[in-house]
Chain A
Amino acid sequence: MHTIIEKRQLSEQVYLMRITAPLIAEARSPGQFIILQVDTEYGERIPLTIADADPEAGWITIIFQAVGGTTMRLAQLRQGEAVAAVLGPLGNPTHIENFGHAVCVGGGIGAAPLYPIAQALKDAGNRLSVIIGARSKELVILEEQFTRIADELIIVTDDGSHGRKALVTEPLKELCERDPRPDLAVAIGPPIMMKFAAATTKPYDVRTMVSLNTIMVDGTGMCGGCRVTVGGETRFVCVDGPEFDGHQVDFDNMIKRLQSYRAQEERAKHACLAEAQATAKGNV
């Protein structure tokens, strides 16, 4: 039973859930993810990164944005209820070592999967710079947690409502221009952000890891739906990734592939909204 032991709303559409999953909590390492279902009969399987875990207490944390049919349904579950199915940990752990100076860049909800990696990098002895970007102040998540571990924390927002008014690439470029240059960059966020973050570090030859969140079905390497082109080769994100060298990833193709089901997803979202409204009306 994957009981929701804590549910918190972090911003308008962003939720944190702590779920019992003892085996996953024990086996997981930073960078790995799960596949979750709200219903095993007709439910969709969606990948979510494990944001945190406690192997002793047997729980994992996920942070998600309720933007699609399944995440919206997930957001409707209450504390004490159970998530129907959780499979994991999937994918490879992040390769952690003392690189020297690591810059972690998180865009929007990407700050959630970034956090355990940043923490592990810090624990391994790296000097840690963190750049967190969001559209506006309300959408900045985990600021407190990052403040605790970062040697340097830069917050940027699109509208300037918090931190600098800039895109994450601006401070990233500045860091790359410093001497000595950072030894590693890790960028996690919307694909377009990862694309530009990788393009920013490229001229400075700063090794840049990105964590890809493609469409998935099984998460075990069986379906090929998660495939991306990396360095001209086809790779499966679920078993070869989720982390890849950002300078090698064909982001344009990946972004287009992510749109494969846009029409169907829109329909599903509307159905889900209608469902929620009907329930809300029934409750009044």
Chain B
Amino acid sequence: MSHTSPIELRDQARRLLAELQAKEQLKARDRLAIPQQEMPSQDPIVRGRNMSEVTFGYFEEQARVEAERCLQCRNAPCVAGCPVQIDIPRFIRQVAEGDYEASLATIRETSLLPSICGRVCPQENQCQEYCTVGKSLKDTFKSVSIGRIERFVADWGAGLQGLSDDALADPNPTPPSALGTDDPAESGRPMAAAEAPDVKPPTGRKVAVIGSGPASITVAADVRREGHEVTIFEAFHKPGGVMIYGIPEFRLPKRIVEDELRTLEAMGVEIRTNFLVGQTRKLRDLLDKDGYDAAFIGTGAGLPRFMRIEGENLVGVFAANEFLTRSNLMKAYDSDKAHTPIYQPRRVAVLGGGNVAMDAARTAIRIGAEEVYVIYRRSRVEMPARAEEVDHAEEEGVRFMLLKSPTRIIGDENDRVVGIEIQEYELGEPDESGRRRPVPIPGSESVIDLDTVIVSIGNDSNPLITRTTPELEANKWGNIVTDERGKTSMDRVFAGGDIVLGAATVILAMGEGRKAAAAINEMLAV
């Protein structure tokens, strides 16, 4: 895969923009002919040795060129594909016109976390899947890069525009999100962050928000805005949920998430960390003794699945959650400073094909692994990970072993991993999900030598709250059952995000949060 330097991408976009602006009127045909703007990124070899963000974000010129690709479809099929129905053609038109402030306002009408969603949404399965441009060019990946434009606008609002001329003087520039300190996660650079939204006068009502992932952040903001008191209870020592402990810095810089949390605090939301609802205090007690008028449960899908194959408890086998938490939340990648150890992998197999698997594989590369294999049962097109992450992983040297699945993990006399036995699969008939079902090929087993296995085949709902709150109804997978507005079986208690949906996405968690917050606000208004 070729890697184009940021300067080249900028210069191309500059020329193109000048050409486009010289034209009187762009016809649909002209727009379809505009080349899609590539995301500038760190050189793959260089970034494989640092934790800073991989992508730099569009240059202004690129954002405007990309925005010109949009056909402004009257029926806007992209909007229907967006879980929170952002008015996509409108915010893109505003970018084309150079009115970023208006564009940001458009996005913010329905989305609370654009700088996060612009980075982590699986756009190719959402808005971009339905984009007319992609359809016309017969390739979803040629759709208007809605997510990249969204990110540009959000970063603009946060004072994080693409690379400056100064930065470009360096052949391997530092990403804007990592400027200001050696440690990207600690950047003290002040943000031109959106000011805290207005909060209505106090109502005297109190809402407990449990967990601090995207669902909870959304609920806290929307409920606080109405003047209710809000307390977030988070089990970890840092808030942010998966966005802090799971998704690595190189994909979602921590300071972006921290900014959102600071905005919440500026609005007067109280965040109590090291508080595990169900253990530190029961949900019932929060409602009955501590005076909370309502509660929202956004505790996520934090229960790692294992494959139930032989050797899964050997030394050197980890759930991706553990590996990623050590690296991200505990900063174990920075072994000079961090006190938490991380296993030093040399030859690694990552089992699974989702975002979590890509994050684990790429983290392994960054902490010095020599060989990293992703072992996945189906073929590449079926991988649930964002396509961009799969491409990035490949560029960084991750190797894909597709249509293969492990049958057992092999250990030595000290119970340390020395290898994995894998079996080949072929694709059979489509299953309920429409994906072709992988079928094992008998006698195709072979062994690869390894010292580390990272299991990344998914997460179920964390059962702590339901276990300690018997009146809360959960389904057979442990997901909390709610009505369409997020109301649970328990009076005054709402839930949303992964704890309801099963492991899903940031944007869906946010969307659920929005609905539940509206229902809570309505309930408290009477």
Q: Is the CB–CB distance between A220 and B302 below 8 Å?
A: yes
Which residues of the other chain, B, contact A23 by a CB distance below 8 angstroms?
275, 280-281
Q: Which residue of A lies closest to B319 (CB)?
A: A224
Q: Is the CB–CB distance between A85 and B237 below 8 Å?
A: yes
Q: Is the CB–CB distance between A224 and B339 below 8 Å?
A: no
CB distance from A127 to the nearest CB of B (A): 32
Q: Is the CB–CB distance between A44 and B330 below 8 Å?
A: yes
Distance A268 CA – B338 CA, assembled complex (angstroms): 9
B235 is an interface residue with CB less than 8 A from chain A: yes
Q: Is the CB–CB distance between A69 and B339 below 8 Å?
A: yes
B238 is an interface residue with CB less than 8 A from chain A: yes
A57 is an interface residue with CB less than 8 A from chain B: no
CB distance from B209 to the nearest CB of A (A): 17
Contact of B330 among A45, A86, A89, A252 (CB under 8 A): A45
Q: Which residue of A lies closest to B236 (CB)?
A: A218
Distance A87 CA – B235 CA, assembled complex (angstroms): 7
A253 is an interface residue with CB less than 8 A from chain B: yes
CB distance from B468 to the nearest CB of A (A): 11
B341 is an interface residue with CB less than 8 A from chain A: yes
B34 is an interface residue with CB less than 8 A from chain A: no
Q: Is the CB–CB distance between A223 and B313 below 8 Å?
A: no
Which residues of the other chain, A, contact B463 by a CB distance below 8 angstroms?
221, 239
Distance A70 CA – B312 CA, assembled complex (angstroms): 28
A-B interface pairs (CB < 8 A), number: 125
A276 is an interface residue with CB less than 8 A from chain B: no
Q: Is the CB–CB distance between A223 and B414 below 8 Å?
A: no
Give residues of chain A (220-244) contacting chain B, Cβ–Cβ below 8 Å.
Answer: 220-225, 227-229, 234, 239
B331 is an interface residue with CB less than 8 A from chain A: yes
Q: Is the CB–CB distance between A40 and B237 below 8 Å?
A: yes
B259 is an interface residue with CB less than 8 A from chain A: no
Q: Is the CB–CB distance between B325 and A217 below 8 Å?
A: yes
Which residues of the other chain, A, contact B280 by a CB distance below 8 angstroms?
23-24, 27, 87-89
Contact of A268 among B304, B306, B314, B341 (CB under 8 A): B341
B130 is an interface residue with CB less than 8 A from chain A: no
Q: Is the CB–CB distance between B279 and A27 below 8 Å?
A: yes
A279 is an interface residue with CB less than 8 A from chain B: no
Q: Is the CB–CB distance between A220 and B339 below 8 Å?
A: no
Q: Is the CB–CB distance between A223 and B237 below 8 Å?
A: no
B276 is an interface residue with CB less than 8 A from chain A: yes
Query: Which listed segment binds B: A105-113, A152-160, A259-267?
Result: A259-267
The verdict on A223 contacting B319 (CB below 8 Å), with A40-B237, A42-B337, A253-B415 known, is yes
* Chain A interface, DSSP helix/strand/loop, else mixed: mixed
Which residues of the other chain, B, contact A88 by a CB distance below 8 angstroms?
276, 279-280
Using an 8 Å CB-CB cutoff, how does the interface string of B333-352 with A read, 1 for contact, 0 for none?
A: 01101111111100000000
Q: Report, as a range, how many residues of chain B touch the other chain.
A: 35 or more
Contact of A37 among B237, B276, B322, B337 (CB under 8 A): B237
Give residues of chain B (233-287) contacting chain A, Cβ–Cβ below 8 Å.
Answer: 235-238, 273-276, 279-281
Q: Is the CB–CB distance between A256 and B304 below 8 Å?
A: no
Q: Is the CB–CB distance between B330 and A220 below 8 Å?
A: no
CB distance from A121 to the nearest CB of B (A): 23
Contact of B338 among A42, A73, A257, A263 (CB under 8 A): A42
Distance A264 CA – B344 CA, assembled complex (angstroms): 9
Q: Is the CB–CB distance between B339 and A44 below 8 Å?
A: yes
The verdict on A257 contacting B415 (CB below 8 Å), with A87-B274, A222-B303, A268-B339 known, is yes
Distance A268 CA – B341 CA, assembled complex (angstroms): 9
Distance A23 CA – B316 CA, assembled complex (angstroms): 37
Distance A44 CA – B273 CA, assembled complex (angstroms): 16
B464 is an interface residue with CB less than 8 A from chain A: yes
Contact of B306 among A85, A224, A256, A265 (CB under 8 A): A224
Contact of B340 among A44, A252, A263 (CB under 8 A): A44
B326 is an interface residue with CB less than 8 A from chain A: yes
B405 is an interface residue with CB less than 8 A from chain A: no
CB distance from B299 to the nearest CB of A (A): 9
B58 is an interface residue with CB less than 8 A from chain A: no
Distance A42 CA – B197 CA, assembled complex (angstroms): 32
Q: Which residue of B lies closest to A89 (CB)?
A: B279
Q: Is the CB–CB distance between B322 and A256 below 8 Å?
A: no
Which residues of the other chain, A, contact B321 by a CB distance below 8 angstroms?
222-224
Which residues of the other chain, A, contact B275 by a CB distance below 8 angstroms?
23, 87
Give residues of chain A (199-229) contacting chain B, Cβ–Cβ below 8 Å.
Answer: 217-225, 227-229
- Across the A-B interface, give the 6 residue pairs with the lowest CB-CB distance, nearest first: A264-B341, A222-B302, A224-B319, A223-B322, A261-B341, A256-B415
Given contacts A27-B281, A73-B339, 5 further A-B contacts (CB under 8 A): A27-B279, A42-B331, A87-B235, A89-B280, A222-B462
A-B contact pairs, 26 of them (CB 8 A): A24-B280, A27-B280, A40-B237, A42-B331, A42-B337, A42-B338, A45-B330, A45-B340, A73-B339, A85-B237, A87-B275, A88-B280, A220-B276, A220-B464, A222-B302, A222-B321, A222-B325, A224-B319, A225-B319, A239-B463, A250-B313, A253-B313, A256-B415, A259-B414, A264-B335, A268-B341
